[in-house]
A and B are shown apart, each in its own frame.
Chain A
Amino acid sequence: MAATDAGQGTDADFRTRLQNWLPKLVLSPSLAVMLIFVYGFIAFTIYLSFTDSRMLPSYGWVGWQNYERLFRVREWDIALTNLAIFASLYIVICTIIGLMLAIFLDQKIRGEGILRPIFLYPMALSFIVTGTAWKWFLDPAIGIENTMHLWGWTSFQFDWIKDRDMAIYTIVIAAVWQSSGFVMAMFLAGLRGIDNEILKAAQMDGASNWNLYRRIILPQLRPAFLSAFVILSHLAIKSYDLVIALTGGGPGNATALPATFMYSYTFTRNQMGIGASSAVIMLMTIAAIMVPYLYAELRERK
């Protein structure tokens, strides 16, 4: 190394230039991969959504026709309604349970070290595993209903999973089981970040516990509320595995979501144009939530 530095000027020059270029060179494959596989693919799918693609991509331009047809399909209507029900219940219930568990765990609880991992472990499981477990749990013939009957409560009825109107709520139950511990962890991190001195001072001034939470603690958890909302809505819109494992979209198509709609129209019903347009709507919905959030986070950290 010393030799090159001393003797050959051009070589040293080349080395410096290489060193200057290396960082960009190292980053460029990732950049290329991302531009093709993410943004190029998005562009391609958007393009397909304006074509007459059926079983295979085809390039006959049909304008907005796929979108018009999409919004006339009854199943898409069901999928959107289901998503609205599922997402709002999922977000609200996870937030309530998560916040409650976090506040409770923050009360100098003995055994916190054991309870916390128990609350959180479902997040490490695959939705397919969660679906398999709950599917059977919710099956009236052998699950909870049957157990209650065997225990002598013969009038007990819990057959939502077989009921077209109620099946979507079984998805909420299983999804809440899986994710509420995660929300708890986010709120707990937020609670632990609050300065105890402020709380003590407020208590000195005679604030009740209720007021302490309402006036001081909850407002300080705003970032955690925002993160929970963004992450949960993002998970809700992407939900696919759980529906497939738990109900398969049924009974009938009573638990269809946009993600299952997209898959079935694109790959089993050979309506790729409509499938692509539904994927575009999903992307737009997620982008509307994520982009402002990420933008704010990036700016904040500069």
Chain B
Amino acid sequence: MAVASTENAIRSSNFTRVLVYLTLLLFALFYLLPFGIMLVNSLKPLDEITGGNMVALPQTWTIEPWLSAWSTAQIGVEPTGLRPYFMNSIMMAVPAVILSTVVGALNGYVLTKWHFRGATIIFGLLLFSCFIPFQIVLIPMARILGILEIAGTTVGLILVHFVYGIGFTTLYFRNYYAAFPTELVRAAQIDGAGFFQIFWRIMLPSSGPIIAVSCIWQFTNIWNDFLFGASFASGDAAPMTVALNNLVNSSTGVREYNVHFAGAIMAAGPTLLVYILAGRYFVRGLMAGSVKG
């Protein structure tokens, strides 16, 4: 790719190049500023925000807003801070990510290496399920969670995210395994290897990248989800996004902007960290979910 771009056939004048660089830098600023300013203001005392300039650096630096957002801020009715909800999100996301990735890997393996009639239709149905507006399942889902007695719990949310994550994870593994040489699988079969043996010994060892893509995509989606969290777990089991929204929109008392910003950065932290550490896989996941439909 680097080679291709150095051979780029487009030549342009110096003036255009300056213009191009300027535009790119301006947009970099546009993307960075909201988050950057939020970060700076989360380290200011409140009176510097309400009485001062948002782009100014703090006169007194303080981590008080961060401590408050984490452990004492009022979320809903209780002054618990965001910590318990952060934990809720972890407890929700980790099992849901693992479950949906394991099932997606097995599905992708079956759909590509064990052809049977109707496989394409099944895949088509799974694929469409990735793109439904979730409003269409909210009402029956609320009923089912109630019947299973897991409404308003983290277990309920794990189930929901697992169920609606299978489509995407299957899509990833199917596309990935489709390029995997089927001859290897057939050869192992002739040698007497069984279904799970082949999966375990032959498919899995070369699945590293797609496992990363699937886990990162699922984690980002589940962590960032708001609709399911708000619909099915708005109380003690609420995930981070719902708690953040409650914190920001609580109508009582003074609006503690600095605390809100600290909370927002906490809510953004895990997915941002994953993006910084493994951005390559994140982008691949986005692309696989779009261009390759």
Which residues in A have some Cβ–Cβ distance to B below 8 Å?
1, 5, 19, 22-24, 26-27, 29-31, 33-35, 37-42, 44-45, 48, 57, 97, 100-101, 104-109, 115, 117-130, 132-137, 142-143, 146-147, 150-151, 177, 181-182, 185-186, 189, 192, 196, 199-200, 203, 209, 212, 223-224, 227, 230-231, 234, 237-238, 240-241, 244-245, 248, 258-259, 262-263, 266-267, 272, 275-276, 278-280, 282-283, 286-287, 290-291, 293-295, 297-298, 301-302
Contacts and interface: CB of A to CB of B under 8 A. Distances in A.
Nearest to B52: A150
26 contacts: A24-B110, A26-B107, A26-B110, A27-B110, A30-B103, A30-B170, A37-B163, A44-B140, A57-B139, A107-B10, A107-B17, A117-B279, A120-B279, A126-B223, A126-B226, A132-B38, A132-B244, A133-B38, A142-B257, A177-B31, A192-B5, A196-B7, A230-B293, A244-B226, A286-B131, A298-B123
B286 interface: yes
A200 B24 CA distance: 25
Nearest to B20: A104
Nearest to B160: A37
B272 A41 contact: no
Contacts of A151: 53
Nearest to A242: B226
A126 B271 contact: yes
A199 B9 contact: yes
Given A1-B192, A27-B110, A44-B139, A38 B248 contact: no
Contacts of B267: 126, 128-129
Contacts of B265: 129
Contacts of B279: 117, 120
B8 A107 contact: yes
Given A34-B125, A105-B24, A262-B135, A45 B275 contact: no
B286 to A, nearest CB: 6
Contacts of B264: 128-129, 132-133
A124 B272 contact: yes
A291 B128 contact: yes
Interface in B236-293: 241, 244-245, 248-249, 257, 260-261, 263-265, 267-268, 271-272, 274-276, 279, 282-283, 286-287, 290-293
Nearest to B199: A26
B55 A147 contact: yes
A275 B50 CA distance: 40
A267 B151 CA distance: 15
B209 interface: no
B226 A121 contact: no
Interface in B167-200: 167, 170, 178, 192, 194-196
Given A125-B272, A143-B54, A267-B231, A186 B135 contact: no
Given A101-B27, A209-B12, A276 B139 contact: yes
A185 B283 contact: yes
B140 A282 contact: no
Interface residues of B, number: 103
Given A34-B167, A101-B24, A199 B10 contact: yes
A38 B140 contact: no
B21 interface: yes
B224 A24 contact: no
Interface string B12-36: 1000010011011001101110110
A33 B106 CA distance: 15
B129 interface: yes
A5 to B, nearest CB: 8
B1 interface: yes
Interface stretch (B70-78, B80-88, B90-98, B114-122): B114-122
Contact of B116 (A24, A34, A290): A24
A8 B213 CA distance: 45
A91 B167 CA distance: 25
Contacts of A203: 9, 11
Given A27-B122, A128-B224, 5 more contacts: A37-B144, A39-B129, A124-B271, A137-B34, A302-B120
B135 A37 contact: no
B133 interface: yes
A42 B283 CA distance: 31
A100 to B, nearest CB: 7
Contacts of A294: 124, 127-128, 131, 293
A126 B30 contact: no
B38 to A, nearest CB: 5
A97 B139 contact: no
Contacts of A192: 1, 4-5
A136 B33 CA distance: 13
